Structure 1
Amino acid sequence: MSAVAQRRGTLRRAFDLLQGNTLGGVRLRAHRPPAGEAERLEETVRERTAALEAANIKLSRSLEQLRATQAQLLFADRLIALGRIAAGVGHEINNPLAFILSNLEYIHQELQQKEHLSEQERQEVLEALAETRDGAERIRLIVRDLQTLSRAEDVGTGPSDLASVVRTAAKMAMHELRHRARLVVECEGLPPVQGNGARLGQVFLNLLLNAAQSIVPGAVEKNEVHIVAREAKSGRVAVEVRDTGCGISPEHRERIFDPFFTTKPLGVGTGLGLAVCHGIVTSLGGTLTVESAPERGSIFRVTLPVAGAFAQAPRSQPADVAA
């Protein structure tokens, strides 16, 4: 037999084998399960599919519960921060309220006692009215800042004016800082960032309060808290909160972002602030890191993504925070 015929015979046998026809002259039959086995397999598949669907529904519900719990935790921490600044805000409101009432009493007496006012008296009344208006405006801004921070709902994730958020947080933290350190704020000319303003305000308020509490009161001229924001590379904005406080030991530095971890005395710290800050920043695609050493202060760095197509630099506004 020629080599060509042998190859043809080999190919023919291989083809017959693939088709289930013959092997060595013996007819081959495809294996088929018994009549009832196919139904049992189908029933098993249906049962496992139903079990997987039930497990998926259960996991979805658990995920929703976790999201709801996380939202409650974020808001609870925000309320804790508000509680810490309540006394200071009361003081901030009481000062302008006092001279508003005083000026209104003066204006009332002047108008009641004098039918006609001289030009000098008229100017004095107008100045008192202007001061009263300024005081009312100051109270309005304080209330607005409180409303922004205490808002429970999260209305979107940007774009947000980071400079405005930082300035608001700085004003809210001043009552903790004014007896401990000078506050320096540099945050002008920044593009909008991706993030909810109330949540970002919560982050920077917590970082500023944390910096304040690391400094012993009574030596304002020797201590400083410096918050500086700048546009970084790769479409991001970086914010640093630096302090000259007591610093963090290496063994604690590894755990400061863990929930409920705190080195503060009982009743002073909850251990939630930095953990919540870390969760908010990372959920927005940013990072939160720390550099610190005992007696050498701390630097907390936040990076946030610029708000995409909305990344247009806002108008520069002067910092209005004074120590």
Structure 2
Amino acid sequence: MAPERLSAKKLLRESSLEIDAALDDDEPLQSAVDEAVWMDVIQKMDEVYSQLIDDEVELEKKNAELEQSQQFVFSVISAMSDVLVVCDAQGRIEQTNAALNDLVGRNEGVLRGTPFVDLLADADSVERVRLVLAQTRAQRSGQVLELQLLDASGAHVPVDANCTPRIDHNGRHVGTVLVGRPTAELKRAYQELRSAHEALKRAQQQLIHSEKMASLGRLVAGVAHELNNPISFVLGNVHALDRYMQRLSSYLAAVHAHEPPAQLEALRKKLRIDHMLADLPSLIEGTMEGAQRTTDIVNGLKRFSAMDPDARASVDLAEVAERAIHWIRKGVTTAFELHWDERVPCHVTGSGGQLQQVMMNLLQNALDAVAPTQRVPVLHVSITRREGHAVFTLRDNGPGIADVHLTRIFDPFFTTKPVGKGTGLGLSISYGIVEQHGGTLSAQNAEQRGAVFTVELPLAQEVPSAS
């Protein structure tokens, strides 16, 4: 652009001299300047003037863009929460940002020109920085250093700094850029995040346990009836054993009193000692069987109600479903039909108690959905394998799920049951449990009638047998 401006000025000067010379001469010279020359001169002057105006407009545009770029860069540097220091090749500070100025308690004007090592708090940090500044062939990606800076109060502030070399257009090392973040703030934020995460895990476990207790409450009536049979049997056998003990005590007293053999034989027949001795084995066996049955029921309740540990183990989803169906049958007062459409042993890694809780929630919700229709509940259950996953499917013969509710049924506290009949947490907690096990829980309406719930869980890795 500069040569064009010089030629334009030269042309204007030459044209002006020609006009002055033509005006100073007499009429013969004036006649030599014809109309074509004047038109050419005027045209050249217009072109040069237009070019000058265009150059000035372009220059103002470039200046405005440069000023905007400078303001943008300055605003970005000022807004950085990380500390920024720009040093020359000798390690003297050329530029800083507001974060560093606030940290050390000095403004950029005071810091400019001072050695960066003056801001360091210990000898190790000084040595690390000097080694980096001395590298004329530093890596373009920079190096990460752990430094100790002195804040405005003189305290040590740990900083993780990334030191990147500054290279000019000729490829020469002209300085270093250091960008760092105080790690104390990061550690504090990490500790707060970890505490919040632990609190959330505890709250989630308590919520799961509370929902489990609510499910357990629905089983009390059925379990009480289940316990009544073996306990009654044991109680009847104990009464019989008590009578037998009294007879044996009477007979043994007569034996120890050295009664005549004839009297002992008569007493033996009267007390039916032989019959009693023959009956004792079956009586004791029945008592032990009833007690064992009671123990199994109580242990099952204890396993279901206990807080589940974080440890995961390989469990068969089919067996978990069997236990869930068993307890649901004992917990409901109305009979229902259940059909196993397909049942394949599928081992998954997880908590058997939590997965049982999921299936019991799904089964109970299915029965509750069919109840208002006054029909006999019919449930279809299947467990299959599909693309590395165990798939549990439950279909009922209820009215199905309304379209407006399909996207909300897994939301916490959402329920379509009357007040006092549901908490709205069962499906939400079940969804969270399945998600924690790396699976998915979904719901949709069946083509014929009713709702379909599907649980997909990754299959457990099978351990190869030793040859």
Fold equivalence (TM over 0.5): yes
CA RMSD of aligned residues (A): 3.3
Judged with a 3 Å threshold, the aligned counterparts in structure 2 of structure 1 residues 105 and 218 are, in CA distance, closer, same or farther, namely farther
Judged with a 3 Å threshold, the aligned counterparts in structure 2 of structure 1 residues 267 and 250 are, in CA distance, closer, same or farther, namely same
Deviation at 1:152, TM superposition (A): 0.7
Matched, 1:259 2:412: yes
Is the contact between residue 211 and residue 245 of structure 1 (CA under 8 Å) also seen in structure 2?
yes
1:229 to 360, 383, 390: 383
Is the contact between residue 308 and residue 354 of structure 2 (CA under 8 Å) also seen in structure 1?
no
Aligned AA for 2:410?
F
2:438 to 266, 285, 304: 285
Is the contact between residue 176 and residue 212 of structure 1 (CA under 8 Å) also seen in structure 2?
no
Matched, 1:78 2:212: yes
* Residue segments in structure 2 that go unaligned for 5+ positions in a row: 1-87, 95-111, 121-148, 152-156, 160-179, 248-270
2:273 to 78, 92, 116: 116
**In the alignment, which residue of structure 2 is the partner of 1:192?**
347
1:167 to 322, 325, 329: 322
Matched, 1:35 2:189: no
Of 123-132 and 148-157, the range deviating more from structure 2: 123-132
Deviation at 1:36, TM superposition (A): 4.7
Is the contact between residue 219 and residue 332 of structure 2 (CA under 8 Å) also seen in structure 1?
no
Alignment of structure 1 residues 87-236 onto 2, 5 Å: 87-109=221-243, 114-118=271-275, 127-177=282-332, 179-185=334-340, 189-216=344-371, 222-230=376-384, 232-236=385-389
Using CA pairs under 8 Å that are at least 6 residues apart, name the structure with larger relative contact order, 1 or 2.
Answer: 1
**In the alignment, which residue of structure 1 is the partner of 2:403?**
250
Deviation at 1:110, TM superposition (A): 5.7
Deviation at 1:96, TM superposition (A): 2.1
Aligned AA for 1:225?
L
Q: Whole-Å Cα distance in 2 between the matches of residues 90 and 294 of structure 1?
A: 39
Higher Rg: 2
Q: Whole-Å Cα distance in 1 between the matches of residues 395 and 435 of structure 2?
A: 20
Aligned AA for 2:192?
K
SS in 1 for 2:364: helix
Of 69-78 and 159-168, the range deviating more from structure 2: 159-168
Deviation at 1:227, TM superposition (A): 2.5
Judged with a 3 Å threshold, the aligned counterparts in structure 2 of structure 1 residues 254 and 139 are, in CA distance, closer, same or farther, namely same
SS in 1 for 2:412: coil
Q: Whole-Å Cα distance in 1 between the matches of residues 291 and 115 of structure 2?
A: 84
Q: Deviations over 1:246-283 (max 9, x none)?
A: 32211112111111111111111111111111111111
The structure with more strand, counted as a fraction of residues: 2
Is the contact between residue 400 and residue 450 of structure 2 (CA under 8 Å) also seen in structure 1?
yes
Share of identical aligned residues, percent? 34
Q: Whole-Å Cα distance in 1 between the matches of residues 348 and 369 of structure 2?
A: 29
* Residue segments in structure 1 that go unaligned for 5+ positions in a row: 1-28, 313-323
Deviation at 1:131, TM superposition (A): 4.0
SS in 2 for 1:308: coil
SS in 1 for 2:452: strand
Deviation at 1:112, TM superposition (A): 5.0
Deviation at 1:303, TM superposition (A): 1.4
Judged with a 3 Å threshold, the aligned counterparts in structure 2 of structure 1 residues 223 and 58 are, in CA distance, closer, same or farther, namely closer
Q: Whole-Å Cα distance in 2 between the matches of residues 250 and 37 of structure 1?
A: 70
SS in 1 for 2:405: helix
Q: Whole-Å Cα distance in 2 between the matches of residues 79 and 311 of structure 1?
A: 39
SS in 2 for 1:255: coil
SS in 1 for 2:386: coil
With structure 2 as the length reference, what TM-score do the two structures score? 0.53
Is the contact between residue 388 and residue 459 of structure 2 (CA under 8 Å) also seen in structure 1?
yes
Judged with a 3 Å threshold, the aligned counterparts in structure 2 of structure 1 residues 55 and 264 are, in CA distance, closer, same or farther, namely same
Judged with a 3 Å threshold, the aligned counterparts in structure 2 of structure 1 residues 295 and 246 are, in CA distance, closer, same or farther, namely farther
Q: Whole-Å Cα distance in 2 between the matches of residues 177 and 187 of structure 1?
A: 24
Is the contact between residue 247 and residue 296 of structure 1 (CA under 8 Å) also seen in structure 2?
yes
Deviation at 1:238, TM superposition (A): 1.1
Aligned AA for 2:432?
G
Judged with a 3 Å threshold, the aligned counterparts in structure 2 of structure 1 residues 107 and 287 are, in CA distance, closer, same or farther, namely same
